[in-house]
Amino acid sequence: MMLLGIDTATERASVALDDGLEINSEHSWRSGNNHTVELASYVNRMMIAADVNAQSLKGIAVAIGPGSFTGLRIGLGFAKGLSIAHSIPLVGVSTLDILAHMQPKVECAMLTLISAGRKSIVSGRYIWHSGGWKTDGTPYITTWQEVVQETKSGSFYLCGELGTVDRAEFGENVMLAPPPLNVRRASYMIAIARKRLDIGDLDEPNALSPFYLRTT
């Protein structure tokens, strides 16, 4: 069952094609503010290379945020347009859930982090339960200074857009994910969406909207 994944939630973008047996094609790149120009081109080239057309897609997974206002609108608009035009099932996936799904099991709480602009970040807290990472509360806007303070309360695993974070700011109770696990990959989003598709848990294209967190 061939699925298309689209993630343009932040300046780090990713698209993938996955048939459930293998990743047929995947491309992740730093788009900056060029999502409008680059997204359709990357998707078209990927589908041509994989000899896949829209009619053969059995589902579309799209990142719905948190993330940048423009990036989310572009990715979601593209996915919804394709879904409606070709009657393709659509599933929206949390940006933070994508990051969480990529991480190994660790014996502590995990914070998934993405940039929120204006020196702020979005943080989502997760705990390992029943064989996977589960959300522990709602995402929230914070700063690096506040994250440093939060991690002093116990052991934590941090992943996501860590940027040039200084490891020395954190105590020995904090683990930082290795660089390859900090870049969101659309193939992991597809894996999340596939489980929902299998049980018929779909999103209505016209009703699906991006999830924003505002800085104050």
pLDDT digits (tens, 9 = 90+) for 57-75: 999 999 999 999 999 999 9
Q: What is the Rg, in whole angstroms, of the alpha carbon atoms belonging to the chain?
A: 17
Could you tell me which of 146, 104, 98 has the C-alpha nearest to residue 121? 146
C-alpha distance from residue 140 to each of 42, 71, 107, 172, 194 (Å): 32, 19, 23, 25, 27
Tell me if residue 76 falls in helix, strand or coil: helix
Beta strands in the chain (DSSP E): 3-7, 12-18, 23-30, 59-65, 90-94, 109-117, 120-129, 132-135, 140-142, 156-160, 174-176
Bridge partner residues of 111 (DSSP):
125, 158
Domains of the chain in start order, with CATH, are: 3-95+184-198 (3.30.420.40), 103-181 (3.30.420.40)
The two three-digit tokens of residue 176, written as one number: 């930082």
| pLDDT tens profile 205-214 | 999 999 988 7
pLDDT tier for residue 36 given thresholds of 50, 70 and 90: confident
pLDDT of residue 9: 95
Type and span of the H or E element at 55: none
Give the model's pLDDT for residue 216. Answer: 56
Instruction: Count CB-CB contacts under 10 A for residue 105.
Output: 10
pLDDT in tens, 80-93: 999 999 999 999 99
The long-range contacts involving 46-55, CB below 8 angstroms and separated by at least 24 positions, are 46/15, 46/16, 46/17, 47/4, 47/17, 49/25, 50/17, 50/24, 50/25, 52/2, 52/17, 52/24, 54/82, 54/85, 54/86, 54/88, 55/86
Sign of the Cα torsion 190, 195, 196, 200 reads: positive
Question: Is pTM beyond 0.75 here?
Answer: yes
